[in-house]
A = this chain, B = another copy of it.
Amino acid sequence: MTRLDFLVRRLETADHRVTRARLAVLAALTEAGSHFTADDICHRLPRVGRATVFRTLKLLVDLGVVCRVLLEDGSLHYRLNLLAVGVHHHHLVCTDCGRIEDVAARDITLSVDELASKSGYEIDGHWLELYGRCQSCRTDERVGATG
């Protein structure tokens, strides 16, 4: 099953229509790389209305197959999430090359739980984005160092 098939099925099982415009958006998402903005998709699909792109993205986020990624500059990107649909996780964003990796939420859960018990809060949500430089960017710098 291709990634496109997967997305189509997700729409179908949730009783949404798989229209021409939506299909175009879905296809664009699978071809757009690791992450993209709504605007990226609009540019790839000049014949699909802007509002439709936003509406479809929101639909897919609600269905758990697309997630939002907040970049360090505050801009909002999107990312396909087909492996762990709807599963809560975070992102490792390389500030150098832009690569993004998923991180299971469980990995930070322990300390969040600690915080909760200390503070008396009942934590039921959080937004975490991590920014840094990925292994290969760090290696590249070492190899290509000029000073």
Interface residues of A (CB under 8 A from B): 70, 72, 92, 94-95, 101, 103, 107-108, 110-112, 114-116, 119-135, 138
Contacts and interface: CB of A to CB of B under 8 A. Distances in A.
Contacts of A131: 123-127
B120 A135 contact: yes
24 contacts: A92-B115, A92-B119, A92-B121, A95-B124, A103-B119, A108-B108, A108-B111, A108-B112, A119-B135, A120-B134, A120-B135, A121-B133, A121-B134, A121-B135, A122-B133, A122-B138, A123-B131, A123-B132, A124-B132, A125-B131, A125-B132, A126-B130, A127-B127, A127-B131
A41 B25 CA distance: 40
A61 to B, nearest CB: 12
Nearest to A94: B121
Contacts of A72: 125, 127
A107 B126 CA distance: 15
Given A108-B115, A111-B107, A115-B107, A122 B126 contact: no
Contacts of A95: 124-125
